[in-house]
Structures are given as C-alpha cells and as structure tokens.
C-alpha cells in the first residue's frame, strides 16, 4: 500500500474542458466516494457528493477549484506519473492506501485507481473509495516511509519478473522489470550474486545498474526470502545510489596515482608497481634508473617557478617519448624521476638508452620567449636474484649521488664499491635502537586552527629524534628505516606515552586542547595495540575525547565488521578516530559510514593543487558533513588556500601558513597568543 499526500489548497483555477458530459453521471448516484483526477494539471475534474464530503468541500465546484499541486511532494508527483504510464501502457488498476488532508486533517482511505481517457486524448485517473483504513499508525507511517525513501526497494521472483518496486525504484528503471538480470550491467555478476545469495542467504556488493539516467553505481544488498503473496522463493533487494562518491573516489585515486604537473606516475603508484613485481617473484635484469635536475633550485630562483614547471614537464615528455611501452616513468616529487626498464636489454644497451635520455634533456627548452637549459645526473642499479626494490632503489640513489659528486650531467651504474654507503644505513639502524633505549625521541606540535572560532583548538603530535651530536632529526630520515626493521612499533609506543602524558598535563592545567597522534597500519594491526590503548586510557585523569588517533585508509582494509568492532572498542575507551591523508588510499564506500569516525583529514596533495582539485575537496567536505565528521585540511601554505577553504566551510586547517611544528613550550606560547588576523 502507498500513502499519497494530496493537501486541501484552494485556487481560482477553472476545471479543464473536454470531459464527456455523460461519462461521470453514474457516479453521482453512488454512495461510494468517486472522483476523476487530472494527473497532468494536478486537480480534480469531477466528484460525486460522497467525494465532496470526504474532501470537506462545500460543493463540487468548490472542490474542482482547488489546486492540489502547491503542497504535493515530488515523490507523490512521480508516483502519479507512474500510475498514468501504467494506465496508458498496460491498462492496469491499483488498490492502494491514500492519505488525504482535507482542511489539514488526515483521512486514510483505501482507493481503487483506474485509467480513464479524456476526450482530448489525455489519460486521467478515476479514484473510487472502497473502504476506510483501519491500519495502526505504525503501519501507516512505515508505508509512507516506503513511498518517500530514496532507497530502491525491490522484490523479484527467482524466475526473474519484478513483484514489487517502490516508487523510486520504478522511476529509476522506468517501470516494472521483466527480468531481474536485465538491470545489471554485468550479466555474469548477477548470476554470481544470485548463486551466492542462495548459498549464504544474503549478500552486499558495490555494483553497476542500468537506470533510465544511465549506468549508476549502487551499494546493493540482496536477501533470499519468500513472496508474502504466493509463498514462492524470491529475492529482496535494496540499493543506494553511491555514484557521486564512487566517481569522487575514482578521481581521487587517479590524482593519487598520477603526478598532476607532468602526467607521469607518482611515488604511490611506483611503490605499488614494485610490490607487484616482487609478488611475481622474478625481475632479473630489470633496471632502476633514478635522476634529478642539476641545480634545479637555480632555475626556479632565476626564472621563477612557472619556468621550473616547464622544465619538469619537458623532461617528463622527452623521457617518456624515448622509453618502450613496457617501461615505466615516474616522478617522485620535486625534480626527482625514476625509470623502470623491463626491456631485458644488456647492461650496455640499457646504459646507452639512458644516455639518449640524458642527451635529449640537454637540448634547449623554451618558456615563452625565454630559453632554458638543463642537465640531469643519473644513477642506475640492476635487479639481481629475487627482486628487492627498496634495496635496488637505495643502490640507484647511491649511484645518483656519485654522479653529482663527480661533476653532474653524467650517468653512474651502481657497483660493489658503492656498497659502503649501505653501511651508513646499518649505522643508522644501530643508532635508532640506541635512541629507543635512551628515549631520545620527542614530540613537536603542529597547531590545528578552527576556522569558525579563529582559535587554535589542538595539535598534531609529530615525532622528532633529538640525536646526540647531531641535533634534531626529522621523520623523513628515519621512519622508513624503522618500518623496515620493525622499530616503528616501539617508537609508536613511546609516542603514545608522550602524547597521552601531555594530554593529561593539559587537562590538569585546565588547558582545553586536543591532541592527534599518527597510527601506522602495522601498529593498528598489532594484537597488543588495543591492550596498550586500554592501559593508557586507564590512567588517572585520562582526558576522554581529547586524544585522536589518525589512521590511513590503508589501515582500514579488511573485514568491515571486525574493523568496526575494533574501532568501537577504541572510541569506547575515550579516543577519537580520524582518517589521515584521505583520498590517497582505498576504503570501500559501502563500509566507510559504518565506522565511528570523528574526523577526515584531506591529504596535503589535494590542497596544494587548489583550485584545480576543488571538486574533489568539495566532495570530501560534503562527505564529512554527511557522516558527522570534522574535516581538517592539511598542507595549508598560502592565504589563497585558507580563503578557499574558509569560503566552503571547512572545519579546521593545519599547515605552514599557520606555523611549522613547534617544540612544546613554543607551541603553548603560540596557541595562547595566536590571532587569526596575523595570517592576513
């Protein structure tokens, strides 16, 4: 049954002409309420005495003068148009529950709808009341929800025909459906869905369906059931259109895999490509070529950053043009490039190919009318035995530095003598183990600015190494090594201890500041992680709701039910959960709304690409509002970034425009004395 709202609104509009004079005469003699409804013009054309009483109209003329369109919802209007199409195409009739609102008072009546053609050729609807509804309010309201929901609700027999489609589903597919598989873009996928549903009882999947508006992505849930009318096996389907979010994610993934300046693959894609090659188990003879632009800073300083960008684009184009289709060219960032050569050539042939790239780069470039000249320094390493691309990249980097140290604008191939450089890495490993034992790590704090209040409301705690004899060492110099040798877990534990201790100290001092701390996927997956958090949360004066754990999207890949349970355990302890670097990893759109997220942090790469990345950033802002999460933009470095985000109601920002990460005393002084006017 369907509840339809037709509100009682008066109008001076005259009834339409063209109705046959005698076609409604019989209705005037019946006691049942009967009226003729003009679907196109949304008003009543004829009504007997009982209908006038039902509608609380003084006369038929009074009822015919009422304009029923003013307060009619779009959902109801679509439903009436569906009736008209079914009258026209299938000569169908319906018995359904309507809720009328004469003088604002609801009247629930059971009505039979039939099509009636007018003399002008249009299809109208004859409405005959066959009884009063005795349904309980809960049933009436659930029926109303079924009509107005944006969720597609469908019941199909297992043989194929649709048994029921709610209004939004009928609108999406243009009417009833003869075969359920016809709405699936991938027919094989439907049969897989059907088989799995019959086996497991239910299924959930992100899939494409063919609608009247074209192919759309849906979060589809299918359950095996029995038809309540016939008792025969059936499929109940519910589908939520997630096309915009899917498109946003695909675009974000493309941006995350490609360098926006040159169009080459970026570091993220290169790392995945390496992982894939390692998974193949053999890459013998593959050459890794690393190069950067000699004295690139001087080009930027002398000619400007736009000229520098022209150099990078030209180098990317020339390099890619000289490579084979099987080779891969990537930009790591700045003026650093990598070539992965799979051609299987001899080492001499590989070196000659790289020399051709070096010579091509040396040819003059032009930025407008300005001639630009550039050279590159190159390092090469070859895969020998089982592929270990982190090691091969390190070897290529060592060869690159040798090129720079021997005059630049040359090519160097890694050899055993250069392995001495690797010893330095081993020395760093030993120093890090000592640093953990001696607790040489400390936190610096990068403020988070609330754009509405203009106040510093918290900070992200970032680890630093206070190395004896050298001073402050930044994460870029040691985190990768720690992840390789497993020390990241012990450093992470120390960071959490320091962070919680500081949050407790602020709480005791009455300082209202939040603190966010990064959690690596390895830390999050560790079996002892929950116990460690619980131990910290059990401390006296633990500030519930003031410590936020930042997880990357890649940490949330896995069984969504188990992940959701684990996240709820964490939030129950009093921690908040944020997704860090949003848009650069992968998380299933069907599950992300199930997690108890309090914050989404937009990756700095999207902020730095503003305004070209504006549509993606805006979609993330919208997603944050939809799931009730605070949105923080990272990497805000210019006033233009800040203004763009402020105009679009971003919640919080952090970045070098506000300040670099600061030691604790400097941060506390900065937060206490901060004025947003200083950023203008």
pLDDT category at 587 given cuts 50, 70, 90 is low
Spatial strand order of the sheet with 336-341 comes to 328-333, 336-341, 287-293, 376-382, 411-413
Tell me the average pLDDT across 140-148.
60
Q: In angstroms, rounded to a whole number, what is the distance separating the alpha carbons of residues 608 and 597?
A: 25
Cα 516 to chain centroid distance, Å, stands at 22
Radius of gyration of the chain (CA): 34
pLDDT category at 18 given cuts 50, 70, 90 is very low
- pLDDT score, position 13: 33
The answer to whether the Cα torsion of 40, 42, 43, 48 is positive or negative is positive
| CATH code of the domain made up of 5-141 | 3.30.450.20
Q: Which of 119, 95, 89, 127 is nearest to 23 (CA)?
A: 119
Q: Which of 219, 241, 242, 266 is nearest to 603 (CA)?
A: 266
> How do residues 432-481 score in pLDDT, each as one tens digit?
999 999 999 999 999 999 999 999 999 999 999 999 988 999 988 888 88
> Could you identify the residue written with the tokens 């079924």?
146
- pLDDT score, position 85: 82
| Helix, strand and coil percent figures for the chain, each rounded to 5 | 45, 25, 30
| CATH code of the domain made up of 249-414 | 3.30.70.270
- pLDDT score, position 543: 93
Tokens at 313, concatenated: 């684009």
Phi, psi of 472 (to 5 degrees): -75, 130
Range in 2-16, 26-40, 119-133, 326-340 the model is least confident about: 2-16
Share of the chain above pLDDT 90, in %: 41
pLDDT category at 343 given cuts 50, 70, 90 is low
pLDDT category at 426 given cuts 50, 70, 90 is confident
Helix (H) or strand (E) holding 317: helix 305-322
Q: Is the pLDDT of residue 140 over 90?
A: no
Do 607 and 638 touch, CB atoms closer than 8 A? no
Do 415 and 327 touch, CB atoms closer than 8 A? no
pLDDT category at 1 given cuts 50, 70, 90 is very low
> How do residues 245-271 score in pLDDT, each as one tens digit?
888 777 777 777 889 899 999 998 999
pLDDT category at 94 given cuts 50, 70, 90 is confident
- pLDDT score, position 14: 35
> Could you identify the residue written with the tokens 């196109």?
40
- pLDDT score, position 145: 62
- pLDDT score, position 11: 33
Tell me the average pLDDT across 568-575.
94
Q: Is the pLDDT of residue 484 over 80?
A: no
> How do residues 506-546 score in pLDDT, each as one tens digit?
999 999 999 999 988 888 888 888 998 998 899 888 999 99
Range in 101-115, 561-575, 611-625 the model is least confident about: 101-115
Tell me the average pLDDT across 421-440.
86
Do 125 and 206 touch, CB atoms closer than 8 A? no
- pLDDT score, position 560: 85
> How do residues 177-195 score in pLDDT, each as one tens digit?
888 888 898 888 888 888 8
Do 547 and 517 touch, CB atoms closer than 8 A? yes
- pLDDT score, position 143: 60
> How do residues 306-325 score in pLDDT, each as one tens digit?
999 999 999 999 999 999 88
Helix (H) or strand (E) holding 500: helix 488-509
pLDDT category at 676 given cuts 50, 70, 90 is confident
Tell me the average pLDDT across 223-238.
84
Top CATH class of 149-241 equals alpha beta
Q: Is the pLDDT of residue 22 over 80?
A: no
Mean pLDDT over all residues of the chain? 85
Where on the phi/psi map is residue 500: left (φ > 0), alpha (ψ -120 to 50), or beta?
A: alpha
Q: In angstroms, rounded to a whole number, what is the distance separating the alpha carbons of residues 411 and 354?
A: 8
Q: Which residue intervals of 65-173 are DSSP H helices?
A: 74-90, 137-148, 167-173
- pLDDT score, position 135: 55
Cα 625 to chain centroid distance, Å, stands at 13
- Mean pLDDT comparison of 111-120, 416-425, 569-578, highest-scoring range: 569-578
Beta bridge partners of 602: 582, 633
* 114-117 long-range contacts, CB within 8 A, separation 24+: 114/87, 115/83, 115/84, 115/86, 115/87, 115/88, 115/91, 116/23, 116/36
Higher-scoring residue by pLDDT: 526, 583 = 526
Q: Is the pLDDT of residue 680 over 80?
A: no
Selecting from 3.30.2420.10, 3.40.50.2300, 3.20.20.450, 3.40.50.300, what CATH number does the domain 436-679 have? 3.20.20.450
- pLDDT score, position 591: 63
Q: In angstroms, rounded to a whole number, what is the distance separating the alpha carbons of residues 642 and 207?
A: 38
Q: In angstroms, rounded to a whole number, what is the distance separating the alpha carbons of residues 523 and 453?
A: 34
Tell me the average pLDDT across 596-609.
92
pLDDT category at 420 given cuts 50, 70, 90 is confident
Tokens at 453, concatenated: 């209040």
> How do residues 355-374 score in pLDDT, each as one tens digit?
999 999 999 999 999 999 99
Whole-Å CA distances, 475 to 89, 444, 487, 502: 69, 11, 13, 20
Share of the chain above pLDDT 70, in %: 92
Q: Is the pLDDT of residue 80 over 70?
A: yes
Could you check whether 5-141 and 149-241 share the same CATH topology?
yes
Which of helix, strand or coil describes residue 175? coil
Tokens at 171, concatenated: 């609108």
Where on the phi/psi map is residue 106: left (φ > 0), alpha (ψ -120 to 50), or beta?
A: beta
Q: In angstroms, rounded to a whole number, what is the distance separating the alpha carbons of residues 101 and 8?
A: 6
Tell me the average pLDDT across 96-123.
82
Instruction: Parse the chain into domains and list their residue ranges.
Output: 5-141, 149-241, 249-414, 436-679
- pLDDT score, position 162: 83
Q: Is the pLDDT of residue 335 over 90?
A: yes
- pLDDT score, position 644: 95
HSE, side-chain direction, 13 A CA sphere, residue 677: 2
Tokens at 315, concatenated: 């180098």
What is the torsion angle, in degrees rounded to the nearest 10, for the CA atoms of residue 584, residue 590, residue 596 and residue 598? Answer: 40
Q: In angstroms, rounded to a whole number, what is the distance separating the alpha carbons of residues 552 and 577?
A: 11
Phi, psi of 36 (to 5 degrees): -110, 120
């Amino acid at each position: 049954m369907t509840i339809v709202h037709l509100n009682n609104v008066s109008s001076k509009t005259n009834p339409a002409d063209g109705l046959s004079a005698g076609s409604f005469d019989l209705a005037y003699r019946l006691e049942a309420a009967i009226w003729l409804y003009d679907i196109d013009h949304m008003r009543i054309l004829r009504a007997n005495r009982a209908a006038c009483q039902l509608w609380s109209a003084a006369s038929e003329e009074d009822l015919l003068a009422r304009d029923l369109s003013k307060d009619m919802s779009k959902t109801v209007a679509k439903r009436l148009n569906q009736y008209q199409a079914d009258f026209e195409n299938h000569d169908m009739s319906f018995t359904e529950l309507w809720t009328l609102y004469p003088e604002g008072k609801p009247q629930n009546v059971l009505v039979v709808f039939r099509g009636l053609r007018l003399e002008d050729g249009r299809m109208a609807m004859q409405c005959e009341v066959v009884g009063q509804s005795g349904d309980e309010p809960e049933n009436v309201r659930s029926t109303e929800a079924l009509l107005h929901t944006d969720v597609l609700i469908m019941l199909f027999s297992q043989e194929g025909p649709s048994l029921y489609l709610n209004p939004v589903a009928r609108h999406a597919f243009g009417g009833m459906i003869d075969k359920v598989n016809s709405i699936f873009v991938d027919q094989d996928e439907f049969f897989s869905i059907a088989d799995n549903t019959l086996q497991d009882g239910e299924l959930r999947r992100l899939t494409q369906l063919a609608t009247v508006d074209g192919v759309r992505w849906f979060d589809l849930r299918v359950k095996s059931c029995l038809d309540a009318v016939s008792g025969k096996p059936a499929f109940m389907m519910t589908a939520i259109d997630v096309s915009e979010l899917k498109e946003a994610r695909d675009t974000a993934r493309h941006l995350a895999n490609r360098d926006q300046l040159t169009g080459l693959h970026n570091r993220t894609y290169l790392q995945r490509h390496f992982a894939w090659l390692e998974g193949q188990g053999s890459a013998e003879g593959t050459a890794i070529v690393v190069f950067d632009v000699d004295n690139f800073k001087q080009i930027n300083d002398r000619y400007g950053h736009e000229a520098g960008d022209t150099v990078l684009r030209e180098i990317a184009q020339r390099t890619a043009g000289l490579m084979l289709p099987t080779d891969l060219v990537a930009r790591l960032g700045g003026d650093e490039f990598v070539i992965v050569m799979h051609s299987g050539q001899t080492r001499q042939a590989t070196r000659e190919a790289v020399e051709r790239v070096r010579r091509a780069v040396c040819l003059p470039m032009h930025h407008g009318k300005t001639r630009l000249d550039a050279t590159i320094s190159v390092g090469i390493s070859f895969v020998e035995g089982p592929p270990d691309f982190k090691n091969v990249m390190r070897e290529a980097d060592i060869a690159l530095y040798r090129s720079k140290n021997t005059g630049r604008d040359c090519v160097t191939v890694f050899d055993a003598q250069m392995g001495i450089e690797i010893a330095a890495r081993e020395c760093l490993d030993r120093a890090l183990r000592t640093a953990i034992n001696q607790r040489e790590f400390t936190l610096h704090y990068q403020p988070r600015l609330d754009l509405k209040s203009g106040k510093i409301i918290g900070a992200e705690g970032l680890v630093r190494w206070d190395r004896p004899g050298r001073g402050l060492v930044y994460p870029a110099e040691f985190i990768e090594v720690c992840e390789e040798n497993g020390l990241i877990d012990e450093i992470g534990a120390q960071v959490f201890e320091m962070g919680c201790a500081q949050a407790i100290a602020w709480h005791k001092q009455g300082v209202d500041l939040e603190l966010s701390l990064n959690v690596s996927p390895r830390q999050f997956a560790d079996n002892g992680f929950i116990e460690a958090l619980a131990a910290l949360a059990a401390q006296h004066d633990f500030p519930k709701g003031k410590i936020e754990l930042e997880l990357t999207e890649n940490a949330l890949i896995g069984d969504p039910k188990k992940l959701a349970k684990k996240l709820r355990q964490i939030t129950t302890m009093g921690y908040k959960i944020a997704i860090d670097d949003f848009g650069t990893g992968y998380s299933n759109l069907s599950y992300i709304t199930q997690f108890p997220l309090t914050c989404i942090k937009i990756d700095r790469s999207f902020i730095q690409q503003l305004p070209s990345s504006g549509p993606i950033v805006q979609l993330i802002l919208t997603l944050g509002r939809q799931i009730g999460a605070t949105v923080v933009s990272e990497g805000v470095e210019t006033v233009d970034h800040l203004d763009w985000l402020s105009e679009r109601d971003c919640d919080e920002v952090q970045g070098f425009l506000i300040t670099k990460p600061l030691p604790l005393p400097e941060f506390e002084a900065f937060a206490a004395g901060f004025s947003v006017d200083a950023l203008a």
